Structure 1
Amino acid sequence: MEKLIEMIEKLELENQLSLEEMPEIDLYMDQVIQLFENKFAASKRNEDEKVLTKTMINNYAKGKLFIPIKNKKYTKEHLILISLIYQLKGALSINDIKVTLEEMNKLVLEGDVDIKNFYQTFLQLSSENVEKFQDDIKIGADHVEEKLANLEGNSDYLQKMLLITSFVHMSNLYRRVAEKLVDEIIEEK
């Protein structure tokens, strides 16, 4: 259990790109990539993994996942949308992300949403989610330990296996609900 808590602390789950960290001036693509790489480097699973690449940004732009770019520069609104894409792509398909952000992009272009306020609310919810997550991990680990008493064999391996399958199952449940919400957005069109 202590190892698990230590592992969670190393994940830097609170690591989010805040509005204050986003420059007020528009950025070129290389500067956007550098900003994201610097901020989320600790979130990478290994050194070879890239947080954001030119190809990713170009694909997001071509797929209309965010508002059009002007003069090859990215505004704070672009950075917010790219940050949301970064968060969403861990669980949703690119098509689902496009569907999810389509209305937001429209609202941003029309000036009908304060995207900075929306993003700040997202960051607050994310912070609260991290706290709930840490509590849930502890409860889940305790539950696995209780169930482990009924099993014979290499208890260290079996404990890890039960934790992995349990956490992945919970992740899948949340992903499925998110996908259903995306489906509702599609149906409402």
Structure 2
Amino acid sequence: MDNHKELINRLHLDSRLKLEDIPDLDLYMDQVIQLFENKFSASKRREDEKVLTKTMINNYAKGKLFFPVENKKYSKEHLIMISLIYQMKGALSISDVQLTLERLNQKITGEEFDIKPVYESVLKLSKANAARMNNLMADHLQEVDTEVEQLNDPEKDYLEKLLLIETFTEMSNLYRKSAEKLVDDLMDGKEE
């Protein structure tokens, strides 16, 4: 691949729901869906995909992935929780997401706890991860280019994509497995 910056740009790594994107007033479900659609539509794989649906939100509520809403309105804290769910669900099972967020939900509802500083940390780490991904992507592309050149095959473009897909899926699996081990640690701590 000639230009890793083009691939990085197509990933829209900067797509995050920032605190300033969230209104100070509570939102109805349709407004929540519209907010997420506006913020994350560029990062969809296909045009007909939905970023967030009523069914998804209802399933998250039934699964206790976030604390109960009041008067069918979602607070800033709910939107933060939905944003965390949105980011985690691509790599973790819904039950792992629920377990990961369970204590955070308890803190929000049971204590005088402000989730905003925690979310600011998430956003700061996300920005650093995007920069790190840019550097890693360049390294991966360089390594793959070297391998493809050594193969001396006329279908270089295909082989390059094949090796990149394998590399990215392997990295994704390594990170997912690491996250799952941490979820298991949360479960082990819960049982004690």
- Structure 1-normalised TM-score? 0.97
User: Are positions 1:106 and 2:96 aligned together?
Assistant: no
Identity %: 56
Q: In 2, Cα distance between the equivalents of 1:145 and 1:28?
A: 49
Q: Which residue of 1 aligns with 2:44?
A: 44
CA distance in 1, matches of 2:186, 2:138: 34
- Tell me the equivalent position of 2:120: 120
Letter in 2 for 1:38: N
CA distance in 2, matches of 1:90, 1:137: 20
1:125-136 to structure 2, matched below 5 A, reads: 125-136=125-136
- Counterpart of 1:90 in structure 2: which amino acid? G
**Separation in structure 2 between the aligned mates of residue 15 and residue 59 of structure 1, nearest angstrom:** 24
CA distance in 2, matches of 1:90, 1:27: 25
Unaligned runs of 5+ in 2: none
Say if 2:65 and 2:98, in contact at 8 Å, map to a contact too: yes
Partners in 2 of 1:12 and 1:111 — Cα distance? 36
- 1:112 deviates by 4.7
RMSD (Å) for aligned C-alpha atoms:
1.0
Give the alignment of 1:32-111 within 5 angstroms.
32-111=32-111
Q: Which residue of 1 aligns with 2:169?
A: 168
Residues 10 and 43, structure 2, Cα contact 8 Å, conserved in 1: no
**TM superposition shift of 1:15:** 1.2
What residue number does 2:5 align with? Answer: 5
> Which 4+ runs in 1 deviate beyond 4 A?
none
Residues 53-106 of structure 1: CA deviation (Å, up to 9, x unaligned): 000000000000001111100000000000000000110000000000000000
Deviations 1:159-186 (A, max 9, x none): 1100110011001000000000000000
Aligned length: 189
Distance 2:22 2:185 in 1: 32
Shift of 1:188: 0.3
Matches of 2:2 and 2:23 in 1, distance apart?
Answer: 39
Could you report, residue by residue, the CA deviation over 1:131-173 in whole angstroms, capped at 9, with x for unpaired residues? 0000000001101111122213211111110011001100100
* One-letter amino acid of the structure 1 residue matched with residue 53 of structure 2: T
116-125 vs 151-160, which moves further = 151-160
Sort the Cα spacing of 1:180 and 1:112 in 2 relative to 1 into closer, same or farther, 3 A: farther
**CA drift at 1:3:** 3.3
Provide the C-alpha distance between the structure 1 equivalents of 2:129 and 2:2, rounded to a whole number of angstroms: 21
What is the DSSP-based 3-state SS (H/G/I as helix, E as strand, rest coil) of the residue aligned with 2:47? Answer: coil
Verify: 1:142 aligned to 2:142, yes or no: yes
The DSSP-based 3-state class of the residue aligned with 1:66 is: coil
Match of 2:179 in 1: 178
TM-score normalised per structure 2: 0.95
Paired with 2:41 and 2:149, the residues of 1 have a C-alpha distance of 39
